[in-house]
Amino acid sequence: MPEECIETNPQESFLCSNCDILYRQLDEALKRNTALFHAMLAHSKDAILLTGPDGRIIRIVRSISGYGPLDLAGTPVELLVHPADREVIRDCYRRLLSRECSTGDIEVRTVRPDGSFFWVEATFTDMLDSPDVQAIICNYRDITARKEQEVARAELEAIVQSAEYAIFSKDADGMILTWNKGAERAFGYAPAEIIGQNISVIVPEHRREYERGNRQRVIAARAVVEIRTEILHKDGSQIPTVIQLAPIFDDHGGVRGISHISRPIR
């Protein structure tokens, strides 16, 4: 007796073939995306770690401080920051767990394996409800250089404001940007009155072309220039003044303005 013939539905064969193609495409996409994910991690400046709701570290996905993936497993994340900053961490977790927010941004000092501290900017994201994550993710980056610049700027500002000399600055178009107490004493204008005004406000009319020429000279030469001129006091009097002009550079090395250190000629 002949074997029973099993008929195949052409539509089912077509669907199965399409499913195989789809699964292969998904598998290839997953492999590509996994490679992309690791490539992104390798070139990222951010560090990534995972913690539980209690703030204990599960693992370090990417480190910028020298710790291995499981070196700190089980360690409370707050112990990695400067004691003075730990309440910032605790408050961030309180807000996340109370659902006050889903992400928290903070700046704290964190510790390296050698015991030294560096500044980081961190974002904590609550993904405890995600079945694929079930953790709080912390992305953080080193901002030590930025913090040092902020401190240096604050120190410089304090020095400038306390200086006896009249110190002020203008941009490349002559708009006054800063004005210290020495300038207020020497020329009569309070900062609120003069900042944002064009430098011509304090330059006598017969000296304005001289001012423009020296401004262009400093920008072109990118060098310090000393001049003798007159400054208009708020009361209208003209004060003979020696001014040292110096270029102010931007982050790309261009000249974004000019500083003035002035002293009246007695």
Give the predicted TM-score (pTM) of the model. 0.55
For each of the domains in the chain, give its residue range(s) and CATH number, in order of start: 46-147 (3.30.450.20), 163-264 (3.30.450.20)
Q: Which residues of 34-57 are buried (b: 16+ CB within 10 A; e: fewer)?
A: eeeeeeeeeeeebbbbbbeeebeb
Q: Is 204 helix (H, G, I), strand (E, B) or coil?
A: coil
Residue 84 structure tokens: 């003075």
Contact 244, 263 (CB under 8 A): no
Q: Is 87 helix (H, G, I), strand (E, B) or coil?
A: helix
Q: How many residues does the chain have?
A: 266
For 122: left if phi > 0, alpha if psi spans -120 to 50, otherwise beta; the answer is beta
Residue 73 structure tokens: 């497993």
Radius of gyration of the CA atoms of the chain, in A = 32
Residue 197 structure tokens: 């005004």
Contact 179, 259 (CB under 8 A): no
For residues 257 and 238, give the distance between their C-alpha atoms in angstroms, rounded to a whole number: 24
Residue 225 structure tokens: 């220039």
- Residue-wise pLDDT tens for the chain (266 aa)? 444 443 444 444 434 445 455 556 555 654 555 454 454 444 456 888 889 999 999 988 888 888 998 999 999 999 999 999 999 999 999 999 999 999 999 999 999 999 999 999 999 999 898 887 788 989 999 999 888 888 777 776 776 677 778 999 999 999 999 999 999 999 999 999 999 999 999 999 999 999 999 999 999 999 999 999 999 999 999 999 999 999 998 878 889 899 999 988 87
Please report, for residues 154, 177, 211, 216, the alpha-carbon distance to residue 159 in angstroms, rounded to integers and kept in the order given: 9, 17, 26, 28
